[in-house]
Amino acid sequence: MSNQAWQITAPGTLTLNNIDTVPDPGAKEVVVRIHAVALNYRDKLVIDHNPAYPVKHKANLVPTCDGAGIVEDSGQSSRWKKGDRVVVNPNTWIHGADGRDFELDKALGGGENDGTLRKWMTVSDESLLRAPENLSMEEASTIFTAGVTAYRSLFYGGVKLQPGVTVLTQGTGGVSCYAIMVAAAAGATVVATSSSDEKLQVARKLGATHLVNYRTTTDWAAKVLEVTGGHGADLVVDVVGAQSIEQTLKCTAFAGVVCVVGMLSEDPAMPVNVMAELLFGGKTLRGQLGAGSRQMAEELSAFMARHDLHPPVAEVFDFEKAPEALEALTKLSAPGKIVLRC
């Protein structure tokens, strides 16, 4: 069968092409009809040839790493069958908690590895997990990068997530929305910051208890300390990085953990003063590259089905509107994820 895919033909430029026919599956491979693709900030870096992403990609790369679809064909030894609803596992990390099996240059949608922004894919059995039955294809496509990034921070970050623990989130992008709803479902108290009261109401619906508008409350760290009775946040999911890290550490509890999962600062390389807070506060600053393992994705999938959680989708674009979807990703104007329906 013929295949359609978006390819990077120049920095910042996507071209929709007919590419090679879809290979028949090997013994432990499947052919997946991709139905939805969620976009991530990493995809934008790759497409723009931004030097902030350290892996150069091949010519005419098919970008994006997240996708959900339906199995159309499977090899004789495959664990999947026609009709299975699946989510793509875009990296080499399958089991375990420490990330030693993660290889950045082998992740889909970068380097030499074509990604999910196409109609059909032939992939190995290990490159898939079952999509939660309670989610649409569009919702399921957001699980791996945004969902697992948040889940890994919450459950593998070094703080036991339970009632009595306070979690601080930033903004209402995909990772933060996942962090809010998963932490709240696990019984933690969530303090959510955002740039507008309208977005904060979305955070409240997802489960946040305390809301802080960082535009109207510039010393938002003081407000976080106030609403937590001076204790601060036991765990922070930091998606901003340098621009926020000093205030973040100021309102992190003694011996608390900050999981840095993004670098949305206007100047990601700006100098920061963090040593006193880290040393005298006994605080941990934990960098987290990549989303996580397939095992974590499967745990998250089961958690979402058990609690009937639905990640917010900001906007859905048709497959043919990929450039417009990337523009919407850049603006980050609505809570949740930008998704392409294939």
Separation between Cα atoms, residue 176 and residue 174, nearest integer Å: 6
Q: Report which of 83, 94, 85, 179 is spatially closest to residue 132, judged by C-alpha positions.
A: 85
User: Positive or negative, the Cα torsion across 149, 90, 12, 311?
Assistant: negative
pLDDT computed for residue 1 by the predictor: 61
**Which residue type is seen at 199?**
K
In order along its 342 residues, the chain shows pLDDT tens digits of 669 999 999 999 999 999 877 888 999 999 999 999 999 989 999 999 998 888 999 999 999 999 999 999 999 999 999 999 999 999 988 887 777 778 888 999 999 999 999 999 999 999 999 999 999 999 999 999 999 999 999 999 889 999 999 999 999 999 999 999 999 999 999 999 999 999 999 999 999 999 999 999 999 999 999 999 999 999 999 999 888 999 999 999 999 999 999 877 667 777 888 899 999 999 999 988 768 999 999 999 999 999 999 999 999 999 999 999 999 998 877 899 999 999
Q: With 0-12 CB in 10 A as exposed, 13-18 as middle and 19+ as buried, what is 51?
A: exposed
Q: Which two tokens stand for residue 303?
A: 């958690």
The three-class DSSP label of residue 63 is coil
Q: Quick check: 157 and 257 in contact, CB under 8 A?
A: yes
